[in-house]
A = this chain, B = another copy of it.
């Protein structure tokens, strides 16, 4: 129960199919770890080839994770026939992206006919607990063919 009612009865299949079509999610090894109306968590295991010069996850990878999570959180509420595009986001990096497992938890803050605003918080699981490493606000737009 998330307080949101999906408008596409097969929203789970739609999200999973679109996620599976994101080659870059496969490249970084991300997977859907939670899916509910207006809520998506994505998880990845930290790998050396995804890191920056200090050995932390690159902010681009953190952003890929939190952005795709938010896109699918929004998409889970869209009508059949609508696609999702990110229009903008803001990310505050709070702590080093370190730890074996990284999780982005995206939640819809405000659904809308055109724009849907999401929050996406990213956690690193280390030493037996989850530490918030980034927090973001994002805008998603619902498009049908030809719009934008």
Chain A interface residues (CB < 8 Å from chain B) = 18-19, 21-24, 26-28, 48-54, 58-61, 63-65, 67-68, 83, 85-95, 109-110, 112-115, 117, 119, 132, 135-137, 139, 141, 147-148
Q: Is the CB of A49 within 8 A of B64?
A: no
A54 to B54, CA, bound (A): 33
Q: Which of B28, B91, B113, B139 contacts A92 (CB 8 A)?
A: B139
Taken together, the copies of this chain in the complex come to 4
Q: Is the interface of A mostly helix, strand, loop or mixed?
A: mixed
Q: Which residues of B contact A19 (CB under 8 A)?
A: 53
**Known contacts A93-B86, A117-B92; is A65 also within 8 Å of B59 by CB?**
no
Q: Which residues of B contact A132 (CB under 8 A)?
A: 109-110
